[in-house]
């Protein structure tokens, strides 16, 4: 909150930032692609998470270095634009839009999947339509989610996680337990399928960089925020690995899943019966609904900012409602795009989010090298390791995961990127002018008067 001088109070420490980051990542997101990646990796989801976490830790380090250099909102877009110029920054931001557009969609998709699994007589498409209608309406009216609500959601998910682990341990105590390390890198593990699964799992880590947006409300942000980013990535990754590992001990054979999209329900039913399935569905759907509200609000806000700054057509995207003081047209457009959840598969939607994320992660790693070693002329062995070796390893890992995505994902993702290049050509008159620079400062994105011009 800002004080009477118009400046934010620096009240947040490492613990608060970690809780915020975990709330943003949604701990139960491990079950979004549980069945899809378990089936893809032939029962080695924990091993795939280990590979993803390794790549994310290097990237989280790079995010922390760039927060120190550029403590502004905008994340990968800002870091790339500052390091490589407006044109490359625009294309990085364009790739990130793929994440922003698909994030609300995947929430609606999994709401439909799990509510249909709970009440099979009600079609999934009905739940998808109902969720889109409710969330879109609330965003038009100006609903805002605050940190306290996110923390409550984390607490509710924590209660479920305790119940899930406790009932799983009770179940395992009366049954044969498979080899403890078999689901990681056992004899049947195939490294190429593990990499493909790890590439999809990148979506589980989306949001750890959101901590950087709280720099003005954090005590000693240049030290605290990089530490919090690393810790929340590590804590979140270890939690994902643990939950996946427990699930594989209980239900080691993915060929017996009733439906890979809602495979988590099979695990819950086995260890806790109908009660745990209902508990899981309630906790998970509530988290998805809140995430849908937050993600649709975020992407609508970004589209509005892009319209206001001339990156997108201003008459369509750059105006606020005089009545509601919200970007109604961007909200409705995101709601309309989310209708694709009626037709798209969960694995493709997950892969598309990971495609944009991995492009952004790769550019952040390269931005560290460009900023510190090239622009700042940092020299010496320590600087070479911190700003050269570590981010290059991060880039290599994310690029490797990027190339492990499916051919369909590449076709859609590269088509989106090509559309961005064409659009950039148009707005820069053949690269003769700088593209408009997106301003993501709080005061500019949320003006108090409407309509915007």
Q: How far apart are CA 265 and CA 274, in angstroms?
A: 9
Q: What share of the chain is helix, strand, coil (3-state, %, to 5)?
A: 75, 0, 25
Residue 33 in tokens: 């692609």
**Cβ contact 12:217 at 8 Å:** yes
For 443, other C-beta atoms within 10 Å of its C-beta total 9
**Secondary structure (3-state) at 218:** strand
Give the residue from 330, 329, 334, 326 showing the smallest Cα distance to 447.
326
Give the start-end residues of each E strand in 58-127: none
**Cβ contact 336:101 at 8 Å:** no
**Secondary structure (3-state) at 175:** coil
**Cβ contact 401:191 at 8 Å:** no
Read off φ and ψ for residue 8, nearest 5 degrees. Answer: -75, 145
Give the residue from 437, 432, 367 showing the smallest Cα distance to 86.
437
Distance of CA 333 to the CA centre of its chain: 20
Residue 369 in tokens: 């090298």
Using CA atoms, how far residue 45 sits from 182, 244, 394, 436, in Å, is: 11, 6, 21, 42
Domains of the chain in sequence order: 14-445 (1.20.1740.10)
Q: Radius of gyration over alpha carbons of the chain, in Å?
A: 22
DSSP string, 339-367: GGGGTS-HHHHHHHHHHHHHHHHHHHHHH
Question: Would you give per-residue pLDDT tens digits along the chain (453 residues)?
Answer: 444 444 445 667 888 788 777 766 777 888 888 888 888 888 889 999 999 998 899 999 998 898 888 766 556 777 888 888 888 888 887 887 777 788 888 889 888 888 888 888 889 889 999 989 988 888 787 655 444 565 676 677 788 889 999 999 999 888 777 777 777 876 676 778 888 888 888 878 876 766 766 666 677 777 888 888 899 899 889 999 999 999 898 888 888 888 888 888 888 989 888 888 888 888 888 778 777 777 777 677 777 767 776 777 888 877 777 777 778 888 888 889 889 888 888 778 877 887 888 888 899 999 999 999 998 888 888 899 999 999 999 999 888 888 877 788 888 888 888 988 898 888 888 878 887 766 554 444 443 333 332
Q: How far apart are CA 111 and CA 121, in angstroms?
A: 15
**Cβ contact 247:35 at 8 Å:** no
Give the residue from 234, 283, 245, 7 showing the smallest Cα distance to 118.
283
Give the residue from 96, 202, 182, 152 showing the smallest Cα distance to 417.
96
Buried b (16+ CB within 10 A) or exposed e, 371-385: bbbeeeeeeeeeeee
Read off φ and ψ for residue 85, nearest 5 degrees. Answer: 100, 170
pLDDT at 148: 57
Q: How far apart are CA 421 and CA 435, in angstroms?
A: 12
pLDDT at 451: 30
Give the residue from 54, 48, 55 showing the smallest Cα distance to 183.
48
């Amino acid at each position: 909150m800002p004080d009477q001088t118009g400046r934010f109070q620096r009240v947040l420490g490492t613990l608060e930032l970690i809780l915020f980051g975990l709330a943003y990542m949604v701990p139960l997101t491990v079950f979004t692609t549980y069945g899809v990646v378990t089936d893809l990796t032939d029962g080695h989801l924990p091993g795939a998470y280990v590979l993803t976490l390794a790549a994310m830790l290097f990237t989280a380090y790079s995010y922390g270095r760039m927060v120190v250099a550029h403590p502004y909102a905008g994340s990968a877009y800002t870091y790339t634009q500052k390091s490589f110029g407006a044109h490359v920054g625009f294309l990085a931001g364009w790739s990130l839009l793929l994440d922003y557009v698909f994030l609300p969609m995947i929430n609606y998709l999994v709401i439909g999947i799990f509510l249909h699994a709970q009440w099979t007589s009600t079609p999934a498409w009905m739940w998808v339509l109902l969720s889109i209608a409710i969330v879109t309406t609330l965003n038009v009216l100006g609903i805002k989610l605050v940190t306290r609500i996110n923390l409550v959601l984390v607490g509710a998910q924590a209660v479920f996680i305790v119940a899930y682990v406790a009932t799983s341990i009770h179940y395992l105590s009366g049954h044969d337990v498979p080899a403890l390390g078999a689901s990681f890198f056992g004899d049947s593990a195939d490294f190429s399928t593990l990499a493909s699964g790890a590439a999809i799992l990148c979506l589980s880590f989306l949001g750890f960089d959101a901590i950087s947006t709280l720099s003005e409300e954090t005590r000693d942000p240049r030290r605290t925020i990089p530490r919090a980013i690393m810790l929340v990535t590590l804590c979140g990754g270890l939690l994902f690995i643990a939950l996946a590992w427990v699930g594989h001990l209980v239900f080691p054979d993915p060929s017996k899943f009733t439906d890979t999209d809602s495979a988590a329900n099979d695990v819950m039913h086995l260890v806790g019966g109908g009660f745990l399935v209902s508990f899981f569905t309630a906790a998970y759907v509530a988290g998805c609904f809140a995430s849908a509200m937050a993600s649709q609000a975020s992407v609508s806000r970004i589209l509005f900012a892009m319209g206001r700054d001339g990156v997108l057509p201003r008459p369509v995207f750059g105006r606020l409602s005089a009545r509601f003081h919200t970007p109604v047209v961007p909200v409705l457009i995101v709601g309309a795009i989310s209708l694709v959840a009626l037709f798209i598969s969960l694995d493709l939607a997950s892969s598309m989010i990971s495609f944009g994320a991995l492009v952004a992660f790769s550019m952040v790693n390269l931005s560290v090298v460009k900023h510190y070693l090239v622009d700042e002329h940092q020299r010496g062995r320590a600087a070479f390791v911190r700003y050269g070796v570590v981010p290059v390893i991060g880039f290599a890992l994310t690029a490797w995961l990027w190339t492990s995505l499916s051919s369909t994902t590449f076709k859609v993702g590269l088509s989106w990127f090509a559309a961005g290049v064409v659009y950039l050509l148009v707005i820069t008159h053949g690269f003769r002018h700088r593209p408009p620079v997106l301003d993501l400062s709080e005061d500019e994105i949320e003006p108090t008067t409407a309509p915007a011009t």
